[in-house]
Amino acid sequence: MPLVLPPSPTFATAKGWRIFLYVLLPPMAAIFLAMPLLAQNAKEPSLGLTAFMAVLGIGMGGFFIYGLLETVRWRLILGPEQLSQVGAFKTKTLAWDEVKGYRITQQYTFVVPKDKRKSTLKIGYTTERYVELQSWLARHFPNADVLEQEAAEKEALADHALGNSTEERSEQLARAAGTAKLLNIAGGLSAAWLIFFPRPYEWAVICALAVPLLAAAALWRHQGALRLNETTNSPYPSVLLAVLLPSLALSIRGLFDFEIVAYQQLWPVVGRAAVSMALLLGLGTREWLFRRQTAFAASLTLVFMAALYGYGASTCINAAFDGQRGRVFHTQVLAKHSSSGKTTTYYLTVQPWGPFPEVADIQVAQEQYQLMRPGSVVDIRLRPGRLGVPWYAVE
């Protein structure tokens, strides 16, 4: 049965966007294409600078020229037999019987083919009569997200590893979803506590350490029904946030709160912690690690999470629970400086002390940085570390 096409079956870039891009893109292309000439006219031009400016200018200039051509030529044509998308240098087509459905995101509408080897057509929100086009697609084709979600739910409810009947499998997924929700909330709260208001510090660290371990236990408890990584339109709940957020918070605290004397002493400890976490997570995700469709994504997520937790847990346990007072060294401040980016980091340049036989920079808090002047004497406490990795702090 032929499709009922809209009265105006050709769609281009919306007029307002065309005017804006016609005004913006030509001067931007001209500015970047002129960059090699500007480099040559510098007082002391160097070959490296000229080459860099040439590559950057030609690359960005070409990008803006391509954008201009795309704006001029881009068309979406709904024909009797097929859908065509005309671009700057290429035309993509899909026959109507090859279309699986459509998918809508915040900025794009995608026309999804049945055959994954064919190209998906991407339609931007800058297209004229965009809402009309979305409504037309919705009247004639199914939502691809809904189709994929229904297919995934059907597959999950047919998985005998989750139970002997559809009702048992559905209940198992529901219980796993409830557990995942609680753990993900706990992960977010523990991470927020540790990052924004870690008082008392040791208890904040303990909570951040515990939640990922509870998530690993939940993966084992709900074997097959609970996942570590999140997949679009999947019926399987995930504990990704319960592992990721506390691990990230621990790593941030470990990186900024504690100064390690020698990182070569830390890495073996981190490695053992990461391997242990990987084994715990692997026990709970073995159902997915050996499936061809999910093995790569599951393995990649597991390795990343284990490494992140291993570093954060090792650094925080080593310093936060180091009960020994260590030894105080007195050294003189030679200079101070700061490094600014998204955050500002403060440093004191001090004379040789303890394990540092040469002049070195030490990181300090803003209040310490403001109090210290060249010539001041600073006290540095060196501690052995709970896990045997020496670290220090400015007092």
Q: Which residue ranges make up each domain of the chain?
A: 10-142, 170-320, 327-394
CB 6 within 8 A of CB 135: no
Q: Most distant CA pair in the chain: distance in Å?
A: 88
Q: What is the pTM of this model?
A: 0.73
Give the pLDDT confidence score for residue 48 in this predicted structure: 72
Mean pLDDT of the chain: 89
How would you class 181 by CB atoms within 10 Å of its CB: exposed for 0-12, middle for 13-18, buried for 19 or more?
middle
Per the model's pLDDT, the better-predicted residue between 182 and 56 turns out to be: 182
Average pLDDT over residues 353-374: 88
Q: Which fold has domain 10-142?
A: PH-domain like (2.30.29)
202-224: pLDDT as tens digits: 999 999 999 999 999 999 998 88
Report whether pLDDT(7) > 60: yes
The per-residue pLDDT for 299 is 86
pLDDT at residue 42 greater than cutoff 80: no
Considering only residues 225 and 317, tell me which one the structure prediction assigns the higher pLDDT. Answer: 317
Sign for the CA dihedral angle at 233, 241, 269, 257 comes to positive
Distance CA 104, CA 10 (A): 20
C-alpha separations of 50 from 60, 121, 295, 349, 360 in Å: 15, 39, 47, 36, 36
Give the pLDDT mean for 152-160.
77
**What does the pLDDT average to over 168-178?**
88
Quote the pLDDT of residue 39: 65
Whether 1 shows a pLDDT value over 60: the answer reads: no
pLDDT for res 149: 84
Position 356 pLDDT exceeds 60: yes
Encode pLDDT of 52-90 as tens digits. 888 888 999 999 999 999 999 999 999 999 999 999 999
Could you tell me the pLDDT band of residue 103, with boundaries at 50, 70 and 90?
very high
**327-394 maps to CATH 1.10.472:** no
Give the model confidence (pLDDT) of 290-332 as tens digits: 666 667 888 888 999 999 999 999 999 999 999 898 999 999 9
What pLDDT score was predicted for residue 43? Answer: 60
* pLDDT band of 185, cuts 50, 70, 90: very high
